[in-house]
Structure 1
Amino acid sequence: MLRRLYDWTMSLAARKSAEAWLAVIAFIESSVFLVPADVLYLPMALARPDRAWRYAFVATVASVLGGIAGWALGYYAFEAIAKPVLEFYGKLDAFNAMRDGVSYETIVLLLITSGLAHLPPIKVVTILSGVANINLGLFIISAIVARGARFFFLAWLLRRYGEPIRDFIEKRLGQLAALGATALIALYVGYRFVMH
């Protein structure tokens, strides 16, 4: 199923309505969809490098709005909507473990790492933020910073290096972002250990 979703998402890049589809995918990725918007963003930005910044802006705005929708699902409709979505993707156990074992500060950190590196998946963290009643203003700011950094960094890479960087982005950027996210988490854990 995941492969079909990935292939379908990739096919959207060739359509005239690709920019609208980018907004849709970036929006729903942040709350319910499994395939990251990068899958659509990359071929679009490579096909039209002159629009890479514009696409990054569209993806960032839509992703932040989708994150707000995920927050609202967690805050207002966890049992009715969010829980079945998490069960469908097999993420409910991970979500429950995360919910039981994290503090407010940890959730804010996870918002940043999930926005930058999909670690953990962004939809899990946006819903968790609503369940944990994370301040909506703080949530929006962290989403703008993290998601914007990701999409605009991709735009910069693609504008600077073009097609040759695509293989690196598709195969290695996720790993580097995950390492960076892990380092942030380790720094936070170290800070909490020293302070207590």
Structure 2
Amino acid sequence: MKLFGPLYDRCRTLAAHPHAPWYLGVISTIESIFFPVPPDVMLAPMALARPRAWWRYALLTTLTSVLGGLIGYALGYFAIEAVMPWIERAGHAGTYASVQDQFVKYGVWIMFVAAFTPIPFKVFTVAGGAAAMPLLPFALASLVGRGMRFFLVAGLIAWGGPRIEPHLRRYIEVLGWVVAVAILGVIAWLQWGP
């Protein structure tokens, strides 16, 4: 089943659009709240198309992702009862409960790990608010974790440039499925692990 190749091709097309930075900002914001597609699929082609602007795209992605994280935090803090049916319908109720336990055990470190890795950041933003995690550590962990991730992705793509694009396109399907399996593994570990 080819899923990630066509998505990558579509994002490459959008990356060349004059409004691409706006699309990237919107995707980065809503991904931290509810959207299932990570902004990396838009960030990477944009950094490839304009390598000199990679750091601006990484900064935009970081800031808008943290903004979305703060919105998710507010949803969790002020409206968890209203958001909980959506979490249950999305199949994240068990993950949400496990994330709550992780906040108790690991505090700010769990936010940093969620921000940096490809696990569903949106679950952690809502859970952080519902757990009443202090806002400043939440925001700082999100900023550092998301910043490290997006600057790393954009920087590597810009550095590798056109010579890595054919390899990226050739293996995008495998990479996409590896990341999807890794995400499912983390969710399973959070739900049924220690």
TM-score by length of 2: 0.77
Equivalent pair of 1:29/1:66 in contact (CA under 8 Å): yes
Does the CA contact (< 8 Å) of 1:107 and 1:129 recur in 2? no
Asked if structure 2 preserves the Cα contact closer than 8 Å seen for 1:32 and 1:85, the reply is no
1:2-21 residue pairs with structure 2 within 5 A? Answer: 7=7, 10=11, 11-21=13-23
- CA 1:135–1:17 in 2, change beyond 3 Å: closer, same or farther? same
Aligned twin of 1:35: 37
**Structure 1 residues 70 and 24, CA, compared in 2 at 3 Å: closer, same or farther?**
same
1:187 is aligned to none
Q: Which amino acid aligns with 2:39?
A: A
CA displacement, residues 34-76 of structure 1 (integer Å, 9 cap, x when unaligned): 1000011111111111111110010000001000001001000
Kindly report structure 1 stretches of 4+ aligned residues shifted beyond 4 Å: none
Q: Does residue 1:65 correspond to 2:67, yes or no?
A: yes
Aligned length: 170
Where structure 2 has 5 or more consecutive residues not aligned to the other structure, the ranges are 187-194
* 1:150 maps to amino acid: R
Residue aligning to 2:148: 149
Letter aligned with residue 136 of structure 2: G
| Kept in 1: contact 2:48–2:157 (CA 8 A) | yes
Amino acid across the alignment from 1:26: S
- 1:34-113 to structure 2, matched below 5 A, reads 34-80=36-82, 82-99=83-100, 101-113=101-113
TM-score of the superposed pair, with normalisation by structure 1: 0.76
Residues in 1 aligned to 2:17 and 2:41: alpha-carbon distance in whole angstroms: 14
Identity among equivalent pairs (%)? 37
Report the equivalent of 1:116: 116
Which ranges in structure 1 are unaligned for 5 or more consecutive residues? 183-196
Shift of 1:113: 1.4
The amino acid across from 1:72 in the alignment is A
* Contact 1:104/1:134, CA 8 A, preserved across alignment: no
**CA contact under 8 A between 2:102 and 2:110: conserved in structure 1?**
no
Out of 62-71 and 149-158, give the one that drifted further: 149-158
C-alpha distance in structure 2 between counterparts of 1:127 and 1:142, whole Å: 15
- Letter of the structure 2 residue corresponding to residue 85 of structure 1: W
Is the 1:31–1:123 contact (alpha carbons within 8 Å) kept by the matching residues of 2? Answer: yes
Task: Report the 3-state secondary structure (helix = DSSP H, G, I; strand = E; otherwise coil) of the residue aligned with 2:36.
Answer: coil
Question: More displaced, 58-67 or 105-114?
Answer: 105-114
Distance between the aligned counterparts of 1:84 and 1:46, measured in 2?
Answer: 40
